[in-house]
Amino acid sequence: MRKTEIYLLLSIILLLGITAIYLVYNPKAGRDSDLIYVSDGYAKSSVTTAVFRKNSLCTHDSIQFIAFYDAEGNVVLGKRNIQETEWELQKTQYHGNVSDAHRIISIAVDDSGYLHLAFNHHDSQLMYTRSIEPYSLIPDTLMPMTGDKEDKVTYPEFYSTGEGLIFAYRDGSSGKGNLILNCYSSEKKCWTRLQDCLIDGEGERNAYWQIYASEKGTIHISWVWRDSWLVESNHDMCYACSHDGGKTWYRSDGTEYTLPIRCDNAETIWKIPQGRELINQTSMTTDENDMPYIATYWRDSISDIPQYRLLRFDGKEWHMHQVSNRSEAFSLSGGGTKMIPIARPQILAYGKKIWYFTRDEEYGSKAAVYKTSDIEEENPEWQREDLTDFAVNAWEPVVDYTLWQKDKQISLFIQNTMQGDGEKTVENAPQPIYVMNIKSVDF
């Protein structure tokens, strides 16, 4: 064999080897989406992949940030140029109780480029800090926000609005909690109380909410009530919105709320009785006309099979669409984190198009999306598509909403995690964390 042939053969072998290694870390590479490997992370519970992480991914200018727990439960922060695949990672001095899936990490970036971080909450003291300088991955020491009602914090969530950052959390416990909102000033570098009790559980219930801060500057919120710590006591879908950064709140018909919102004055947009497998803490979005969409699931009275649903407002009335056509039944009961056979969904909308992200044991527990090109049809046609070639088990979708609003690019946090019933772990080695970028939003 001549030297040139040998060199060619070696080059081909080397190229195939490089390609094989790349595909190990990017198993969907070259198709309609790419998986960018970040690192291995804790996977014995769903603490890194719970749907109410707002956010585990966020983008500011051309920098995408990420947060997760490593195998030892250390808080890890990362960033990359949105056009590149290389991540810069920083293991911080902070640690979380990763066996409890409530104790997620939530991040956001303010207008000045400071990275804000809240982590390790379940009816516990506020754990909050921000980066020591803009775009830095090094967090400062822990600090209070307002110093008031910060000793029983759960479900910390950041949202970016035209007024700055909003921080939402539950004060209290399951079945007995209130929704509090804080507002951050980038100019003054401080937090103030926006709503001391936006939604009042009156000591008898609490709201499990989903929030979306739209490009139009509207804050949309929807929620189900839970009348005890038991998930089967979830009922009804309610709604409110604010056009002034969270100060004043309205129903969908434009009438103003007298605050705080309580069970007796809340707008119920869809009546759903207790015991219908109605899940809590799902997601919302809006279209370019600021019309709200809510993703969730429950079962009909004549069926024992929960189905994915979409509630949407057209400016005059609310509509309900069944998204899935599942065939396997399951029941939600008891308290604590559940290993549910389907994920709580995330949703995006643009024009008449909807992307509805899920995971379903019935289809092999892969990350997946339901899509429709015309949601305004009476019975839209839904197309289901797997996004991964591997099972993700307890994973729930988390979308980089800041990147979506900026560039209409879809970016998802992906990891195969496990979850025991209640606050239990399942033996599982650290699993690869990926960021999935959907190449095109066209159908």
pLDDT digits (tens, 9 = 90+) for 159-175: 998 778 999 999 998 88
Nearest CA to 336 among 29, 107, 94, 46?
46
Q: What is the pLDDT of residue 18?
A: 42
* Calpha distance 187→199 (Å, rounded): 29
Q: What is the pLDDT of residue 16?
A: 43
Q: What is the pLDDT of residue 442?
A: 65
Q: What is the DSSP string of 233-290?
A: GEEEEEEEEESSSSSS-B-TTSPBPPSSB-TTTSEEEE---TTS----S-EEEE-TT-
Residues in the chain with pLDDT values less than 50: 7-31
What are residue 265's phi and psi, to 5 degrees? -120, 5
* Cα-Cα end-to-end distance for the chain: 50
Q: What is the pLDDT of residue 175?
A: 85
Bridging pattern class, strands 153-161 and 164-173: antiparallel
Q: To the nearest 10°, the Cα dihedral for 76, 408, 378, 319?
A: 50
Q: What is the pLDDT of residue 269?
A: 98
By the 8 A CB rule, do 404 and 410 touch? yes
Q: What is the pLDDT of residue 333?
A: 83
* Calpha distance 283→293 (Å, rounded): 9
* Calpha distance 241→209 (Å, rounded): 12
Q: What is the pLDDT of residue 5?
A: 52
Q: What is the pTM of this model?
A: 0.91
- Residue 342, CB half-sphere, CA atoms under 13 Å: how many? 33
The residue type at 227: D
Question: Which residues does residue 399 pair with via DSSP β-bridges, in sequence order?
Answer: 412
Rounded-to-5 percentages of helix, strand, coil across the chain: 10, 45, 50
3 state SS for 101-170: CCCCEEEEECCCCCEEEEECCCCECCCEEEECCCCCCCECCCCCCCCCCCCCEEEEEEEEECCEEEEEEE
* Calpha distance 8→310 (Å, rounded): 56
Nearest CA to 193 among 202, 184, 201?
184
Q: What is the pLDDT of residue 23?
A: 44
Q: What is the pLDDT of residue 28?
A: 43
28, 198, 212, 259, 334 from 256: Cα distances, Å = 48, 13, 19, 9, 36
H/E run at residue 183 = strand 176-185
408: exposed, middle or buried (Cβ count in 10 Å: 0-12, 13-18, 19+): exposed
Q: What is the pLDDT of residue 338?
A: 73
Q: How many residues does the chain have?
A: 443
* Calpha distance 403→110 (Å, rounded): 14
